[in-house]
Chain A
Amino acid sequence: MLSNYGYEDGSGNYYITIDTDKCSECGEKPCLQACPEGIFQTELDDYDDEVVIVREEARNRLRQTCAACKSRDRMASGDYVLPCLKACPEGALKHTW
């Protein structure tokens, strides 16, 4: 299932989408360590599979929390990949902005 965590305001959509079917296939969950802000945690979903979710307290300020990783200089370099996306071996994570 595609789980969307985040919000929408006048400036845009700020969601992190996690494909839980892909995420549950990953045993190590390296994204937990890769995020410098520690916004991810795990929980057992409806199917008793361990999946990553975005911490509740982080969901309403993703634009600010992720700003350091998404700085203009970094994003300008062509081969730069966000640490969480780079760490995810299943390609289960997506950012909408």
Chain B
Amino acid sequence: MAQEYWRWSEESWINPDLNDWKGACLTAGVDIGSTSTQAVVMADKKPLSYASIRTGSNSKDSAVNAMNRVLELTGLQREEIAFTVGTGYGRVNVPFADKTVTEITCHARGANFIYGPSVRTILDMGGQDCKAIHCDENGRVRSFMMNDKCAAGTGRGMEVIADLLGVPIEEIGARSFEADQIPKPITSQCVVFAKTEVGHLMREGWTKEQVLAAYCQAMADRVARLLERNGMELDFAITGGIAKNIGVVRRVEKLMGVTALQGSYDSQIAGALGGALMAYDLLEKRKRRGQRS
């Protein structure tokens, strides 16, 4: 079988520093994105375990598979989780969710946890859309702006280019900086047309690194315009899969004149992590309301 360069590696993780979590309040967040699905379990709002897998053709199965990986790692049963939030593009397909919450709310909450309460502007670069979010010191959304018109400027667009150029997706960012000379940024808004444009550049004799630089620059230009329209307020953080591509991140930073915060957790789990935190808050709120009524 031909090598699939777009295939990023799936991950699962258990917190090695969290041993004494028996008896804690366990909450979960499951983020079904268009391209990847994450499940996070937290014990008393501390990350216990997560899994990040590719979203298959069936969103419901993706949610179950991601959650099962976390359950296997932790030895938990699903019934032991007190509250689960489903989020992301496919949130209505999380069969065991107690509530669905928009990914905008969850990403803001997750970014607040990962990068700290000073975060005010979040750029969520997902598989098929891109969002600029403003939040307060509690990670509560104040405003947002979204580009979901097409895959250009998103993770899926990057996957298509990785496959076309035969460059493993993890290497794109670093290799884009190896170019000494850069063609004009790819102008096409549509990934299908961008593929044609990349083909033209290759035939003109530009190297893979130079073409990658042009594509990363084009993607950075697009998201910078989105950030400008929604307004930039410091501190700034990037979530989603593209946050791992330094070719885009460094170019966005340069265009906006800012430096993105570095977090101690995988940027791709921000939505699910935020979901697990929301689950805890919602459970507490429902308990308080139940006591009052």
List A residues at the B interface (Cβ < 8 Å). 1-2, 21, 46-48
Contact = CB atoms under 8 A, between A and B. Distances in A.
Contact of B102 (A2, A21, A46): A46
B282 interface: yes
Rank and list the top 10 A-B pairs by shortest CB-CB distance, nearest first. Answer: A46-B105, A46-B101, A1-B141, A2-B143, A48-B285, A48-B282, A46-B102, A1-B142, A1-B143, A48-B286
Contacts of A46: 101-102, 105, 278
B175 interface: no
Q: Which of A2, A21, A46, A47 has the most CB of B within 10 A?
A: A46
Interface of B: 99, 101-102, 105, 140-143, 278, 281-282, 285-286
A75 B144 CA distance: 32
A19 B102 CA distance: 17
A6 to B, nearest CB: 15
21 contacts: A1-B140, A1-B141, A1-B142, A1-B143, A2-B142, A2-B143, A21-B140, A46-B101, A46-B102, A46-B105, A46-B278, A47-B105, A47-B140, A47-B278, A47-B281, A47-B282, A47-B285, A48-B99, A48-B282, A48-B285, A48-B286
Contacts of B105: 46-47
Contacts of B282: 47-48
Contacts of B278: 46-47
Nearest to B135: A1
Contacts of A21: 140
B109 to A, nearest CB: 9
B125 to A, nearest CB: 21
Q: Which of A1, A47, A48 has the most CB of B within 10 A?
A: A1
A46 B107 CA distance: 12
Contacts of B285: 47-48
Nearest to A44: B99
Given A2-B142, A48-B282, A48-B286, 12 more contacts: A1-B140, A1-B141, A1-B143, A2-B143, A21-B140, A46-B101, A47-B105, A47-B278, A47-B281, A47-B285, A48-B99, A48-B285
A50 to B, nearest CB: 11
Nearest to A49: B285
B195 to A, nearest CB: 32
Q: Which of B105, B141, B142, B286 has the most CB of A within 10 A?
A: B141
A46 B141 CA distance: 11
Nearest to A45: B105
A95 B79 CA distance: 46
Contacts of A2: 142-143
A89 B102 CA distance: 28
A47 B140 CA distance: 10
Contacts of B286: 48
B207 to A, nearest CB: 43
Contacts of B99: 48
A48 B101 CA distance: 10
Nearest to B281: A47
A59 B105 CA distance: 22
A13 to B, nearest CB: 14
A5 to B, nearest CB: 14
A48 B281 CA distance: 10
A21 B278 CA distance: 16
Nearest to B136: A21
Contacts of A48: 99, 282, 285-286
